[in-house]
Amino acid sequence: MSRKQPYFAVKYNAVKKRRGHKKAIIAIARMMMVCIYQMISEKKPFAPTDYEALMDSHEQKKRVVLNEENALAFLAAQGYDTSQLVKCNDN
């Protein structure tokens, strides 16, 4: 898997989240075999249809840190009244 073109790595991570490591390995191996078969039979280069959307979403993922300020801002954006919330320290 290439660091410059992580197509199958991104696919693997998506399957792994849902199904686990072993099933993800089998699923990616099957995807690769289907791709190889299509490339050989049609004599065309590897060009998946979802490549652009997959790579764009992979590059633009924004990490959000969950803290008190972000949680209150999210609740306010959803329409909740956060003025009556009380902070509780359960150390």
- State pLDDT tens for residues 4-35: 668 888 889 889 999 999 999 999 999 999 99
Q: Answer yes or no: pTM beyond 0.75.
A: no
Token duo for residue 82: 């956060």
- State pLDDT tens for residues 36-71: 999 999 999 988 888 777 777 655 556 677 888 888
Find the DSSP H helices in the chain: 7-19, 21-42, 51-59, 68-77
Token duo for residue 35: 């791709």
Confidence grade of residue 89 (pLDDT, cut at 50, 70, 90): confident
